[in-house]
């Protein structure tokens, strides 16, 4: 086991991780943060996306031991002060989450996009989300939710 | 209506966007062990010996199970109980589970799989249906209609031969629909545990907890009352989680033996091998047309590649021939279907269950017919749309039909009159239509009980809890449940707590399949809510001295419609009722109407009512590369009434999405490993990277129109939307490709390679098409003959003796005609 310290959703966390475990497994199994999902564990579906130092990564392709000293944001960290993030509000309101399984990955990827480009075009949104698979929605209501969040002044 | 028809946040929306929805793999229990399955590495073999002693002795391994632990077979249909949780005497496809290891963690279980020694005696591998048809032995199963043929069906409604002979033109076409898989993003997972009373609890990503409950009781030989199945919200289902599965039986048995919780989560590769997806279907359509552009008669033959087990296959076979008549008026109809076993993962129900394949053939053939008759395909269809509130040739009772309106709306939206056959070479538009069930009229197993039950609990807090066995698979069934109750009781949907998919807590609902939930659960919910409303109204009426019929339930109040200021809050109304009548609990249930079909095989196809869809797809096809781009899709769906328009639109767009995948790229196909390895028949690409599915970059703009014409059979008039809108899209794409570059692609997926081949054939002066040209000979049984309603039929099969007589006279007539 390797002892690491990282910041998870704004809070410092000390955790002993098995050296072979992915960040996905550390989050779900060692830190009980089951909001992050898995669909392939091979970097193909985007369900396990989290933000690592603000950038979207596939947590199934990152080793936990490599995350010492870094900041991880998961879906559990999107709401603040008891209020949902605007993306969460619009995803819930506008049908962007059907089964909800791919939703955490889409939310953090969309957040990273809006953090960097507050006013992306539809094409820009489409490009940014092209690594996340959703089998339910056909993506259209997801674009609309991202655009509605922009209109709400999402950051 | 205040709730129904208003776009709203779904009741489980907050849980889904905060990551708090608890899927099966999110269930973590103290002392939990982990399970891995050893799967067959050969496609067809006798199991000579399994030695698990090395695995059992491996540190960290708690238990190894084999086929000896599971003597009792199961299967979703009573007629095909052909699966064992772990293989006993033989394996039938690469991926068939043969042993299970339960260990302290997943890695240990996985490592121990290598320590199980299995000796196989290989048998002939059947890779495709023609193999299975040609070779009756060795049999993959010891049951089935003949040799390796699982099921043969022949149903004849009216004198089709005569109708085709009398037709002005007869069209015959052969199509192939490749198999594909559901690909839910959530991999199947299950956790089993003994509860403190010693009873079994299973959490599983299943669409059908009631059927899993029955299968567990059977295979574990336990009273069903001692088993609790909890369907966790499914991370996508699409039909792929509708069978009782090996892994569910295995963890249940292990948890009982070890008295510790046991979890399994399948890898993505295992999900591809679990399958139960779309059957590959070869089909032949022979359709006679009259001069006036109406159908004289139709003969449909289908050959289904069933894979290694029965699954829903018998029903799938009937479905390939059931709904042709529901869309268009077919005065005489003959359907012959054949399902064969092969050594591949079992096929089953995927969104549209058995109907997308034949819908693909029928709608392309109609496009060809329209061209041959120099008619506009939309006009042709408008002329033959089935009549509403009628009985079809095969005794399906259709309700409202919004198909004509669907066609008019999409043609207007897509500017059909100015685009069809008018766009420059390389660009095209295509139209197709469809219909689908709003719930199967019969349960999987024969019984007289309701298909859906709802219980309501109201108490002095003003809180309402709605209990129903329905399963949330993302489609929004929990939301429909609370919306129906909220509408009747005049409260907010978010005031209601839904408790669903739990066989201990909730009344039976048969599951999330066949687009049955909105109609059946919705009607049950309305009945339960109306009974509660009546109790509250009695109590409030007494208190206020206002006649019951003047009371209105709205805005969380119960008040006098003639004097709205005079009323009580909803909570006070519950208190008054609780004081007057005691604890308030009501029930509602729904049983579909009896089918008019009274012949053998008439159980597949009946539904309380049917939905209708029409789609126009625009394509750009590069004639040099064959590359296909779909920029726009227009789709109109006859929903009856939208309960929550946000979710209805999501189902339509999601259907279009899934249809595009099937039409253009998705294939569940197989290959032989090189002989130096094993020559085994394996999935060609069991990974999400190589099994191509549409990404954001592939998805066109979708313009959705909802036709709201309430059907009195549906809750507030609602019909289904989860499956129907998928159906017209694949043939519409094929028809658009023809409009764009003048070649017919008579199979899916429609790939650039196939388009180029068809263009080459066209350039060489050959038939400008790509697709199958041969339908094999099949030993069809004597048809079950049923006279259509308009020939005085009563839905029963005609007397066999008389049938033989008629058979002779038909043969005689045929000779005379020739």
Of A37, A129, A135, the CB nearest to B183: A135
Residue B799 has a pLDDT of: 77
Longest dimension (CA), chain A: 46
Confidence of residue A125 (pLDDT cuts 50, 70, 90): very high
Please report whether residue A29 resides in a domain: yes
Shortest Cα–Cα distance, A24 to chain B (Å): 13
Select from A16, A50, A74 the last residue of a domain. Answer: A74
Residue A66 and residue A100 in one domain = no
* Cβ within 8 Å of A, B 649-668: 649-650, 653-658
CATH architecture, domain B27-123+184-237+241-274 = Alpha-Beta Complex (3.90)
* Cβ within 8 Å of B, A 82-121: 84, 87-89, 91-95, 97-104, 107
Of B23, B26, B699, the CB nearest to A138: B699
Closest residue in A to B691 (Cα–Cα): A44
For B148-177, the pLDDT digits (tens) are 999 999 999 999 999 999 999 999 999 999
The share of chain A scoring above pLDDT 70, in percent, equals: 99
**Do B688 and A133 count as a contact with CB atoms less than 8 A apart?**
yes
Helices (H) and strands (E) in chain A, counts: 5, 5
Sort out which chain B residues have CB atoms less than 8 A from A127's CB and list them: 696-697
Select from A74, A102, A117 the last residue of a domain. Answer: A74
* Cβ within 8 Å of A, B 224-263: 233-238
Residue A154 has a pLDDT of: 55
Sort out which chain B residues have CB atoms less than 8 A from A101's CB and list them: 23, 184-186, 235-236, 474
| A1 contact B CB<8A | no
Shortest Cα–Cα distance, A78 to chain B (Å): 8
* Cβ within 8 Å of A, B 460-489: 473-476
Residue B601 CB coordination number (10 Å): 21
* Residue range of the domain that includes A8: 2-74
pLDDT-flagged residues of chain B (< 70): 800-818
Residue A121 and residue A68 in one domain = no
What is the interface size between A and B, counted as CB pairs within 8 Å? 166
Sort out which chain B residues have CB atoms less than 8 A from A140's CB and list them: 653, 699, 701-702
In whole angstroms, give the CA distance from residue B712 to residue B556. Answer: 27
Residue A114 has a pLDDT of: 97
**Do B657 and A137 count as a contact with CB atoms less than 8 A apart?**
yes
**Do B23 and A129 count as a contact with CB atoms less than 8 A apart?**
no
Residue B476 CB coordination number (10 Å): 28
**Do B17 and A103 count as a contact with CB atoms less than 8 A apart?**
yes
Q: What angle do CA B684, B685, B688 make, to 5 degrees?
A: 160
Select from A74, A108, A134 the last residue of a domain. Answer: A74
Residue B802 has a pLDDT of: 54
**Do A102 and B185 count as a contact with CB atoms less than 8 A apart?**
yes
**Do B185 and A45 count as a contact with CB atoms less than 8 A apart?**
yes
Closest residue in B to A29 (Cα–Cα): B28
**Do A97 and B17 count as a contact with CB atoms less than 8 A apart?**
yes
Sort out which chain B residues have CB atoms less than 8 A from A34's CB and list them: 19, 22, 25-26, 28
Closest residue in A to B688 (Cα–Cα): A44
| A61 contact B CB<8A | no
Of B20, B654, B689, the CB nearest to A98: B654
Sort out which chain A residues have CB atoms less than 8 A from B9's CB and list them: 92-93
CATH code at B450-590: 3.30.365.10
Please report whether residue A14 resides in a domain: yes
In whole angstroms, give the CA distance from residue B43 to residue B66. Answer: 18
Closest residue in A to B9 (Cα–Cα): A93
Domain count, chain A: 2
In whole angstroms, give the CA distance from residue B100 to residue B259. Answer: 17
Please report whether residue A35 resides in a domain: yes
Q: Write the DSSP symbol of residue B74.
A: B
Show the 3-state SS of B759-788: HHHHHCCCCCEECCCCCCCCCCCCCEEECC
| B182 contact A CB<8A | yes
Of B19, B650, B656, the CB nearest to A98: B650
| A21 contact B CB<8A | no
Shortest Cα–Cα distance, A100 to chain B (Å): 5
Closest residue in B to A105 (Cα–Cα): B19
| A129 contact B CB<8A | yes
Residue B818 has a pLDDT of: 27
Of A95, A99, A96, the residue nearest B473 (C-alpha): A99
Sort out which chain A residues have CB atoms less than 8 A from B687's CB and list them: 40, 42, 44
Sort out which chain B residues have CB atoms less than 8 A from A44's CB and list them: 268, 687-689
Interhelix angle A140-151/A86-93, rounded to 10 degrees, is 140
Residue A62 and residue A117 in one domain = no
Looking at CATH, the fold of the domain delimited by B152-180+277-441+599-770 is given as: Aldehyde Oxidoreductase; domain 4 (3.30.365)
Sort out which chain B residues have CB atoms less than 8 A from A137's CB and list them: 650, 653-654, 657
Closest residue in A to B657 (Cα–Cα): A138
Residue A117 and residue A138 in one domain = yes
In whole angstroms, give the CA distance from residue B155 to residue B798. Answer: 11
Of A79, A84, A138, the CB nearest to B657: A138
Residue A153 has a pLDDT of: 78
Element (H, E) at B281: strand B281-289
Residues A72-76, mean pLDDT to the nearest whole number: 98
Residue A69 and residue A131 in one domain = no
Please report whether residue A81 resides in a domain: no
Every domain of chain B and the residues it spans: 27-123+184-237+241-274, 152-180+277-441+599-770, 450-590
* Cβ within 8 Å of A, B 706-765: none
Of B202, B174, B35, B168, the residue nearest B109 (C-alpha): B35
Q: Do domains B152-180+277-441+599-770 and B450-590 have the same CATH topology?
A: yes
Residue A69 and residue A92 in one domain = no
Of A36, A92, A139, the CB nearest to B13: A92
Residue B647 has a pLDDT of: 98
Of B646, B653, B697, the CB nearest to A138: B653
Q: Where are the beta strands (DSSP E) in B488-638?
A: 496-500, 551-554, 557-560, 563-569, 584-590, 610-621, 628-638
Sort out which chain A residues have CB atoms less than 8 A from B17's CB and list them: 75, 84, 87-89, 91-92, 97, 100, 103, 107
**Do B649 and A95 count as a contact with CB atoms less than 8 A apart?**
yes
Q: What distance, in Å, lies between the first and last C-alpha atoms of chain A?
A: 37
3-state percent breakdown (helix, strand, coil) of chain A, nearest 5: 40, 20, 45
Quote the tokens at residue B752.
């650039």
Interface mutation vs chain A, best among B11, B16, B17, most A CBs within 10 Å = B17
Residue B817 has a pLDDT of: 32
Sort out which chain B residues have CB atoms less than 8 A from A134's CB and list them: 185
Shortest Cα–Cα distance, A8 to chain B (Å): 15
- Give the mean pLDDT of chain A: 97
In whole angstroms, give the CA distance from residue B311 to residue B9. Answer: 36
Of A40, A42, A126, the CB nearest to B696: A126
**Do B235 and A100 count as a contact with CB atoms less than 8 A apart?**
yes
Burial class (CB in 10 A: 0-12, 13-18, 19+), A7: middle
The CATH number of residue A111's host domain is: 1.10.150.120
Residue A68 and residue A124 in one domain = no
């Amino acid at each position: 086991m390797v002892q690491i310290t990282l910041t998870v959703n704004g809070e410092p966390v000390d955790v002993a991780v098995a050296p072979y475990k992915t960040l996905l497994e550390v989050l779900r199994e060692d830190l009980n943060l089951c909001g992050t999902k898995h669909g392939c564990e091979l970097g193909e579906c985007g369900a396990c996306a989290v933000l690592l130092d603000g950038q979207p990564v596939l947590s199934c392709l990152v080793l936990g031991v490599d995350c010492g000293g870094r900041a991880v944001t998961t879906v559990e960290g999107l709401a603040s002060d008891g209020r949902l993030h605007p993306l969460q509000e619009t995803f819930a309101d506008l049908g962007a989450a059907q089964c909800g399984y791919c939703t955490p990955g889409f939310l953090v990827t969309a957040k990273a996009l809006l953090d960097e480009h507050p006013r992306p075009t539809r094409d820009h949104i489409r490009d940014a989300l092209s690594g996340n698979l959703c089998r339910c929605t056909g993506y259209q209501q997801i674009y609309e939710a991202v655009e509605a969040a922009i209109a709400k002044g999402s950051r | 209506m205040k709730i129904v028809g208003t776009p709203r946040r779904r009741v489980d929306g907050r849980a889904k966007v905060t990551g708090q929805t608890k899927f099966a793999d999110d269930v973590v229990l103290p002392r939990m062990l982990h399970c891995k399955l050893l799967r067959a590495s050969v496609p067809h073999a006798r199991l000579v010996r399994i030695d698990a002693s090395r695995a059992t002795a491996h540190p960290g391994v708690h238990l190894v199970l084999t086929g000896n632990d599971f003597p009792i077979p199961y299967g979703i249909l009573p007629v095909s109980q052909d699966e064992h949780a772990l293989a006993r005497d033989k394996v039938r496809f690469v991926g068939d589970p043969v042993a299970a290891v339960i260990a302290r963690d997943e890695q240990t279980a996985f490592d121990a799989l290598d320590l199980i020694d299995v000796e196989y005696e290989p048998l002939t591998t059947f890779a495709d249906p023609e193999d299975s048809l040609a070779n009756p032995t060795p049999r993959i199963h010891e049951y089935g209609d003949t040799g390796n043929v699982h099921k043969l069906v022949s149903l004849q409604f009216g004198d089709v031969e005569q109708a085709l002979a009398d037709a002005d033109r007869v069209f015959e076409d052969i199509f192939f629909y490749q198999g594909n898989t559901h690909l839910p993003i959530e991999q199947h997972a299950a956790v089993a545990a003994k509860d403190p009373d010693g009873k079994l609890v299973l959490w599983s990503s299943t669409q059908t907890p009631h059927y899993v409950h029955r299968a567990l009781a059977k295979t574990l030989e336990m009273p069903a009352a001692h088993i609790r199945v909890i369907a966790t919200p499914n991370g996508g289902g699409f039909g792929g989680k509708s069978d009782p599965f090996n892994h569910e039986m295995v963890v249940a048995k292990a948890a009982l033996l070890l008295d510790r919780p046991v979890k399994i989560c399948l890898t993505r590769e295992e999900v591809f091998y679990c399958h139960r997806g779309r059957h590959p279907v070869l089909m032949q359509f022979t359709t006679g047309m009259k001069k006036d552009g109406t159908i004289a008669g139709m003969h449909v033959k289908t050959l289904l590649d069933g894979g290694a087990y029965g699954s829903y296959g018998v029903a799938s076979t009937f479905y390939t021939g059931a709904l042709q008549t529901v869309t268009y008026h077919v005065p005489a109809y003959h359907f012959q279907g054949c399902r064969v076993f092969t050594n591949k993962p079992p096929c089953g129900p995927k969104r549209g269950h058995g109907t997308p394949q034949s819908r693909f053939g029928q709608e392309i053939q109609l496009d060809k017919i329209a061209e041959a008759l120099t008619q506009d395909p939309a006009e042709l269809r408008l002329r033959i749309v089935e009549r509403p509130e009628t009985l079809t040739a095969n005794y399906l009772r259709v309700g409202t039909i919004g198909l004509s309106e669907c066609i008019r709306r999409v043609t207007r939206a897509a500017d059909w009159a100015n685009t069809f056959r008018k766009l420059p070479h390389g660009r095209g538009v295509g139209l197709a239509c469809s219909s689908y069930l709003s719930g199967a009229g019969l349960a999987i197993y024969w019984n007289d009980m309701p298909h859906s039950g709802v219980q309501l609990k109201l108490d002095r807090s003003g809180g309402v809890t709605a209990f129903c066995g329905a399963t949330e698979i993302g489609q929004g069934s929990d939301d429909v449940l609370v919306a129906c109750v909220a509408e009747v009781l005049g409260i907010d949907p978010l005031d209601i707590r839904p408790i669903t998919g739990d066989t201990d807590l909730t009344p039976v609902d048969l599951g999330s399949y066949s687009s049955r939930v909105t109609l059946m659960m919705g009607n049950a919910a309305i009945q339960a809510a109306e009974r509660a409303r009546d109790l509250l109204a009695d109590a409030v009426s007494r208190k206020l001295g206002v006649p019951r019929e003047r009371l209105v339930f709205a805005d969380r109040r119960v008040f006098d419609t003639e004097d709205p200021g005079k009323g009580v809050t909803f909570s006070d109304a519950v208190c008054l009722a609780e004081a007057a009548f005691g604890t308030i609990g009501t029930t509602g249930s729904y049983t579909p109407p009896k089918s008019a079909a009274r012949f053998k095989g008439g159980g597949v196809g009946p539904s309380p009512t049917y939905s209708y869809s029409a789609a126009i797809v625009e394509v750009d096809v590069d004639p040099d590369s064959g590359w296909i781009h779909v920029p726009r899709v227009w789709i109109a769906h006859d929903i009856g009434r939208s309960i929550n328009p946000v979710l209805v639109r999501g189902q339509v767009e999601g259907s279009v999405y899934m249809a595009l995948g099937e039409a253009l790229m998705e294939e569940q196909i197989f290959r032989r490993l090189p002989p130096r390895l094993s020559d085994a028949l394996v999935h060609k690409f069991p990974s999400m990277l190589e099994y191509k599915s549409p990404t954001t970059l592939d998805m066109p703009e979708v313009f959705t129109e909802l036709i709201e014409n309430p059907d009195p059979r549906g809750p507030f008039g609602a019909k289904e939307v989860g499956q129907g809108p998928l159906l017209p899209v694949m043939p519409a794409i094929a028809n658009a490709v023809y409009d764009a570059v003048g070649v017919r692609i008579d199979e899916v997926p429609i790939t650039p390679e196939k388009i180029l081949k068809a263009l080459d054939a066209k350039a060489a002066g050959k038939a400008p098409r790509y697709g199958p040209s041969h339908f094999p000979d099949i030993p069809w049984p004597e048809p079950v003959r049923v006279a259509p309603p308009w020939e005085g039929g009563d839905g029963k099969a005609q007397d066999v003796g008389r049938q033989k007589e008629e058979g002779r006279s038909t043969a005689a007539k045929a000779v005379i005609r020739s």
